[in-house]
Amino acid sequence: MHTNTCPTLLNTQNKAGNTPLHWAALNGHLDCVKLLLEAGADPTIKNTAGHDPVFEAEVADKKDVVEWVLKEGGSGLEKGLGQGGESEAEMDGAFNEAEAGVEDADVERDLEMNEVKEGKEGLP
């Protein structure tokens, strides 16, 4: 593979704007994160939600990935800050917001399941 095309392929985004690095970070695959960064993946790329790979790892509670990337993993990263320049307090707030969204989705799913159960009870 030509070295000029490698970063282009590594930084290819899907429809949601996620790169391979987003997915590796989100799923806690630290060895893959390391390899992708060594190969030239850009940790500053944001997806359509405005999240960089470090933020995705933080929200998914992949602390080993977050710690390694912020400490060792790439140019342009400042210790203690996410890629969008978020402070730890802002990242914690975003994490809490995301967590609340998951809880809201759980409540909504439970309500829908109750409606389905209620509908089945009235069937012959």
Tens of pLDDT, residues 67-79: 999 888 755 454 3
Residue linked to tokens 């930084």: 11
CA dist list (Å): 87 to 45, 63, 83, 91, 105: 18, 16, 10, 6, 27
Q: Note the Cα 70 to chain centre separation in Å.
A: 15
Tens of pLDDT, residues 97-113: 555 555 555 566 666 66
Q: Which of 51-55, 60-64, 68-72 has the lowest mean pLDDT?
A: 68-72
Q: What is the arithmetic mean of pLDDT over 79-87? A: 45
Query: Of 3.30.1490.100, 3.30.2420.10, 1.25.40.20, 3.20.10.10, which CATH number belongs to 6-121?
Result: 1.25.40.20
Q: Note the Cα 36 to chain centre separation in Å.
A: 15
If one compares 114 and 61, the residue with the highest pLDDT of the two is 61
Q: What is the arithmetic mean of pLDDT over 42-58? A: 95
> From CA 28, how far away is CA 23, in angstroms rounded?
8
At 86, list the tokens: 């978020």
| Rounded CA Rg of the chain | 19
Would you list the domain boundaries of the chain? 6-121
The predicted pLDDT at position 109 comes to 66
If one compares 2 and 23, the residue with the highest pLDDT of the two is 23
Q: Residue 73 gets which letter from DSSP?
A: S
